[in-house]
Amino acid sequence: MKPERVVLLAMRARRSVRQFSPKTVSRATVDRLLRAALMAPSSLGARPWRFVLIRDRRTIAEIVEAKRRFMPIAKRRYPADFMLSAPWVIVVCVDERRSFERGIENAVLAASHIMLLAASMGLGTTYLSAGRPGHPALERAMRGILKTPAWLRPCVLLPVGYPARPVSRRALPALGGRVILREP
């Protein structure tokens, strides 16, 4: 199979999974996901990522409570409680001393690599932010829960596990009005 096809299949397979099965995910599998994250591009090639791996149920419950406490009203329909069923939560953090003021972008790129490899392996993930620009309370709470130093910014929360039910493929949207073409 052509590499392009493999990548496109992983992209189409990726879904936000909010129900995880009790099936175990090994540490070796999580390490494979982290190696994929290390292949992501970063500002000036600095690779400022650090990853906090969480399996402790109490810590995950604290994260869920913080997400609930600082959730924007518009997102109340999407509580983070489902994280409690995930066997792992990967927190993508960035070393702010090495992120060249592009910490969130660097974290998102690493998280996307994790999510795509996870989908290709039959695992499910969901992207959750560990903070919001202009609203530092959630990020402060995450730093406290994770006990990270001041220079290590938690950016993305990725619950990881096997989906509780089969994940369906989604239809690709038409490009339609999504493209603006500027030609000479």
Q: Which domains does the chain have, with CATH numbers?
A: 3-178 (3.40.109.10)
Let me know: does 124 contact 167? Beta carbons within 8 Å.
yes
Band the pLDDT of 95: cuts 50, 70, 90. Answer: very high
Nearest C-alpha neighbor of 28 from the set 108, 111, 88, 107: 88
- Three-state SS for 41? coil
Report the pLDDT value the prediction gives residue 130, as an integer from 0 to 100.
Answer: 94
pLDDT recorded at residue 166: 80
In this prediction, residue 8 carries a pLDDT of: 83
% of the chain with per-residue pLDDT over 90: 64
pLDDT value for 10:
83
pLDDT of residue 73: 87
Q: What is the mean pLDDT of residues 66-78?
A: 89
pTM, rounded to two decimals? 0.90
Residue 13 has what pLDDT? 81
- pLDDT mean over 116-133: 92
**Residue pLDDT, tens place only, 141-166:** 999 999 999 999 999 999 999 999 88
CB 84 within 8 A of CB 61: yes
Residues 92/114, Cβ–Cβ less than 8 Å = yes
pLDDT band at 114 (very low <50, low <70, confident <90, very high): very high
Residues 6+ apart with CB under 8 A from 107: 49, 92, 93, 94, 153, 155, 156
